[in-house]
Amino acid sequence: MKLLYCWLLPGLLLGAGSACAQGPARVTVSGYVRDRATGENLIGVAVVQAGTGLGTATNTYGFYSLTLPAAGLDSVRLATSYVGYARGRWAAPATGSAGHDFLLAPAPNELAGVEVVADPAAEDRGPRSTRMGTINVPIAQIKSLPKFMGETDVLKVLQLLPGVQSGGEGTSGLYVRGGSPDQNLILLDGTPVYNASHLFGFFSVFNADALNNVELIKGGFPARYGGRLSSVLDISMKEGNDQAFHGEGAIGLVASRITLEGPIKKDVASFIVSARRTYIDVVAQPFIKAQLAGEKLAGTLGYYFYDLNGKLNWKLSRRDRLYLSAYRGSDNFYAHTRDADNTQATYTRSDVDLGWGNLTGALRWNHVVNDRLFLNTHLTYSQYQFDVGQNREDRTGAPGQAGTQTTTGSLRYFSNIRDFSLKTDFDYAPSPDHYVRFGAQLTRHAFRPGAFAQTERVDTARSGATLGSRVLATESALYVEDDYRLSNRLKVNAGLRLNGYFVDGKGYPSLEPRLAARFMLTDEWALKAAYARTTQFIHLLTNSGIGLPTDLWVPATAAVRPQLAHQISLGAARTLRYKGEAFEFSFETYYKPMQNLVEYREGASFLNTTDSDWQSKVTSGQGWAYGGELFLQKKTGRTTGWLGYTLAWSTRRFPELNGGRAFPYKYDRRHDISLVVIHHFSPTLTLSGTWVYGTGNATTLASGRFQTDPQQGYNDYGDRNSFRMAAYHRFDLDLSKTKKKRWGEIVNSLSIYNVYSRNNPYYLYFQAAYFNNDGTVARPPSYRQVSLFPIIPSVSKAFKF
């Protein structure tokens, strides 16, 4: 096996031959790094040979492998470094390969757990990393920031990072470096999540209590990631405490959540389950029924969402682990009404249901092939479905009387995407100078872009029709990459990804080179550059910008080509130190041209039933996004946080839109500023605040109006997105107090959203002129601004036991 890898890998990777060539004997130490109290695998932990600077970092599954030259090495002396944990140390004679698992204890300083990123000694973090546009945000920090209506939200925290913006007031959508929401690959335990929003975009689907790691990649994508143009959001769930039973949860204004975890068999198997649900519908029911009764109606209406997460973890042996995880999330709106008196001459009953949600499942097998080679095999299922329907009954005549006629009808619209995927990844660490990853993936997509089902029954006569069909597609990928240290100053990550996509007899091959490099000018300053070619084989047809579920996933076809982008990034990074405290500074610029973007034609939408083929409703075009990002973060001490600034442009052009002229993308934002500050007065009292500013969104308004006759008028809209709404800015605060109890702890939080009650624009509408009786203008025509949220205080109570 070893000989096989030594012959094959050099043919695939730049420079890998030197890693496998015959040379001095080597000593390899490998194992896992875990939390001592919970058994949870720790990601991105630096493992370094003392006195040499040679080191590595744990992978996504907490595994590390470090190979050292045996010449002159009398002992192995390893040390670990990880935010919020005391250093781990281990020493042994250098007599051969060995295995050692580190069990790390929390750092004595309780405030250390809220630092922003891992220790800069880790080769995959900070200035020394080859990666660009990559930010890891600890869960502890996510939980300490201000909460919208009492809900901790992962995506809203990510919106505070440079290069990332939201779609609108309060929404949780991500628009990364000029891209659209469908261009973000969102992974939950390696499984794609196609719709990450609840409540029409105001909350995300992720329960922070069930999460272990959150990483966002904005550019310089490694070859192991593919299928999207703009970003990768890689989220890992906790694996479950294998030492003792624990729980945590919270009660908020709109939702409550609970997470339970513990050992099935100590040190061998564990579980974690979490649940969250809103109770808006339950609280509002008495008021809704009273309102309906006043209108002589009976029934109910309401809205709720829920999330369910579960995961099982088995340690089959030291070399084998098995994981089974699942997620189910759903939004449901319902309106069921009927006439209160069903004996009257006319009677009507109406049932309207609107639902959408995700279902994912994953079976994962980790296997340590040998002390340098790690294997992960992943079988996943992902489904997203949107479903809206109405059933109606109309009756003319009293029940049982002759001549009474009953008409019933139903209309249903549904859309979904389903994936089955098998992926195998290898991590190979032949020496401290090389970290090789390679693997393959096969995905079977099943799309139903949109289907209508309609039936009608008049007494016993029945009619109906169904429009829409299913599309099957197969996507495959092979990739290889090597993180290669050429010298102490120069390190590169070179990779190649080969994609294949097949649909309705049409094939789209795609070769994607990836290259990233860093050059250390000094021990603190690094210059970085990256290039990535990316291809996306699915599109999202968007009807609005607020995360409505009517956004439809559709495949690339023979008529609609896959999206394609190139991204070039240049930047610099430095670790600054002042009075014993560390700051991370980075500056990045990027340029991203995009091809084969898809938009609805003028006047087309998913509701247009005259043509069931969605391909006839869209047009393809191009896009450009470029800009620069500044990021300064303070990682240690009582006061932590960051300052981010983005200067960006995003432009689109479609031959059949705007007269073929280029226009600003709806979420083109010239300036974007975010300031985040977290201050710990003590280990039990924390105050945090965020302030954001952004250039107003682009929109299309009528520039004039002409009359064809006294009864009919038309608007002249001019160029698309040629008007800017007012600038957006907002200040949020959160004060949290922790109370220690015999059984655990309680955290009481008071959050204030939009402290100075800024009326931020949500959308604009046209208000016609108002005339006096004598024909003079009392109020000229104008556009009026609609704002959603004034100042909103909220309280929440979190607990752990």
**pLDDT at residue 113 above 50?**
no
Nearest to 370 by CA among 454, 428, 317: 428
Query: What value does the CA radius of gyration of the chain take, rounded to a whole number of Å?
Result: 29
Task: Write out the two tokens for 475.
Answer: 């996507």
CA distance 208 to 237: 9
CA distance 214 to 220: 18
Which is it for strands 373-396 and 191-192: parallel, antiparallel or unpaired? unpaired
Where in the chain are the domains? 2-106, 134-800
Task: Write out the two tokens for 607.
Answer: 């509701």
Q: Which residues pair with 677 in a beta bridge?
A: 641, 689
CA distance 448 to 554: 8
Cβ-Cβ contacts under 8 Å for 680 (sequence gap 6 or more): 111, 114, 638, 639, 686
**pLDDT at residue 782 above 90?**
no
| 334 within 8 A of 350, measured Cβ to Cβ | no
| 468 within 8 A of 612, measured Cβ to Cβ | yes
Looking at per-residue pLDDT, the higher value among 406 and 626 belongs to 626
Cβ-Cβ contacts under 8 Å for 759 (sequence gap 6 or more): 785, 787, 790
**pLDDT at residue 197 above 50?**
yes
Which residue is associated with the tokens 């979904």?
416
SS3 state at 227: coil
Cβ-Cβ contacts under 8 Å for 66 (sequence gap 6 or more): 28, 29, 30, 47, 49, 54, 55, 56, 78, 429, 432
**pLDDT at residue 203 above 60?**
yes
Cβ-Cβ contacts under 8 Å for 682 (sequence gap 6 or more): none
Which is it for strands 89-93 and 525-536: parallel, antiparallel or unpaired? unpaired
What CATH number was assigned to the domain covering residues 134-800? 2.40.170.20
| C-alpha to C-alpha distances, 171 to 197, 254, 304, 343, 795, nearest whole angstrom | 8, 15, 17, 46, 20
**pLDDT at residue 503 above 80?**
yes
Alpha helices in 145-191 (DSSP H): 154-158
| 85 within 8 A of 120, measured Cβ to Cβ | no
| C-alpha to C-alpha distances, 43 to 30, 46, 68, 78, 587, nearest whole angstrom | 15, 9, 22, 17, 25
What is residue 700's predicted lDDT score, i.e. its pLDDT? Answer: 82
| 215 within 8 A of 134, measured Cβ to Cβ | yes
Mean of pLDDT values over 261-265: 94
Residue type, 547: G
Using the CB atoms, write b or e for 455-471: b if 16+ within 10 Å: eeeeeeeeeeeeebeeb
Q: Write out the DSSP string of 428-476.
A: EEEETTEEEEEEEEEEEEEEEEEEEEEEEEETTEEEEEEE---EEEEEE
Task: Band the pLDDT of 452: cuts 50, 70, 90.
Answer: low
Give the model confidence (pLDDT) of 124-138 as tens digits.
Answer: 456 677 788 888 888
| Three-state SS letters, 491-532 | EEEEEEEEEEEEECCEEEEEEEEEEEEEEECCCCEEEEEEEE
The torsion angle over the Cα atoms of residues 655, 660, 665 and 668, rounded to 10 degrees, is: 140
Q: Which residues pair with 67 in a beta bridge?
A: 28
Nearest to 594 by CA among 571, 561, 618, 617: 561
Looking at per-residue pLDDT, the higher value among 708 and 39 belongs to 39
CA distance 630 to 628: 7
CA distance 548 to 534: 27
Is the C-alpha dihedral spanning 65, 68, 73, 78 positive or negative? negative
Cβ-Cβ contacts under 8 Å for 487 (sequence gap 6 or more): none
Give the model confidence (pLDDT) of 693-712 as tens digits.
Answer: 999 888 888 766 655 554 55
Looking at per-residue pLDDT, the higher value among 427 and 294 belongs to 427
Task: Band the pLDDT of 23: cuts 50, 70, 90.
Answer: very low
Mean of pLDDT values over 513-528: 91
Task: Band the pLDDT of 69: cuts 50, 70, 90.
Answer: confident
Give the model confidence (pLDDT) of 743-781 as tens digits.
Answer: 989 999 999 999 999 998 887 877 777 777 777 777 787
Which residue is associated with the tokens 């590595």?
56
Cβ-Cβ contacts under 8 Å for 660 (sequence gap 6 or more): 653, 654
| C-alpha to C-alpha distances, 792 to 150, 557, 751, 754, nearest whole angstrom | 10, 46, 8, 7
CA distance 228 to 367: 28
What is residue 172's predicted lDDT score, i.e. its pLDDT? Answer: 67
What is residue 18's predicted lDDT score, i.e. its pLDDT? Answer: 42
Nearest to 166 by CA among 197, 194, 207, 129: 197
CA distance 279 to 252: 10
In CATH terms, the superfamily for domain 2-106 is Carboxypeptidase-like, regulatory domain (2.60.40.1120)
Task: Give counts: helices (H), strands (E), the chain.
Answer: 5, 51
